[in-house]
Homo-oligomer: A and B are copies of this chain.
Amino acid sequence: MARTQGSHSDITGPRIRKAALNLFARHGYAAVSMRQIAKEVGVQAGALYNYTPDKQSLLYRLMREHMQDLLSALDALERCDDAQEALRRFVGFHIRFHLQRPDEVFIAYMELRNLSPENFAEIEDLRRQYENALESILDTGQQAGQFAISDTKIATLGVIAMLNGVMTWYRSGGRLSLDEVEQIYWNMVHKAVTA
């Protein structure tokens, strides 16, 4: 008989978050019930409340941790004074990081409206930090005369939007390798911003 009660389960917490992540990504936050999440974990709905105060916090925590991971990973990227090289690294980093976490990424920009106002503000701030990193690369290159960008703010959003598009179609094991995808996108981004 499987042990179902009383054990110290350090693993139940992570499993709940994983199940919630997966279900939220597939069906959307509003369409997923606490009972569905509990069923996926193999537990009764009430048990979830040992690990989260409510459903909203479950979503918020998933999004916040994802954004913090993203910023940490970006921070760990080797610095580079040359703007073009920095941009190339950013493109590669963005594509690879996001393709490794399709569910987190999907949630992070699809479920923003299901956050409470305070939680939304925090996530939005983290997102802005990420955009600013790219914008400062574009600014640097623009001032150095390497880039010819009419509006760095829009270019930032344009580049990120284009790169994010990769997740709507890329499937590992498909026609193109990760290296090829990175090469193709870098080629487009590079030409789009270069003088």
Chain A interfacial positions (CB closer than 8 Å to B): 26-28, 30-31, 110, 113-114, 150-151, 154-155, 157-162, 164-166, 168-169, 176, 181, 183-185, 187-189, 191-194
Supply 4 further A-B pairs (C-beta < 8 A) apart from A158-B162, A191-B192.
A27-B113, A28-B114, A189-B192, A191-B193
Contacts of A165 in B (CB 8 A): 157-158, 160-162
User: Closest B-chain residue to A160, C-beta based?
Assistant: B165
Please indicate which of the listed interface residues A159, A164, A165, A185 has the most CB atoms of chain B within 10 Å of its own CB. A165
Contacts of A187 in B (CB 8 A): 150
Q: List 7 A-B contacts (CB under 8 A).
A: A27-B113, A154-B184, A157-B169, A158-B162, A159-B162, A160-B165, A192-B192
Least distance between A16 CB and chain B CB atoms (Å): 21
Contacts of A168 in B (CB 8 A): 157, 161
Contacts of A191 in B (CB 8 A): 191-194
Contacts of A110 in B (CB 8 A): 110
Q: Is the CB of B184 within 8 A of A188?
A: no
User: Closest B-chain residue to A158, C-beta based?
Assistant: B162
Q: Is the CB of A188 within 8 A of B157?
A: no
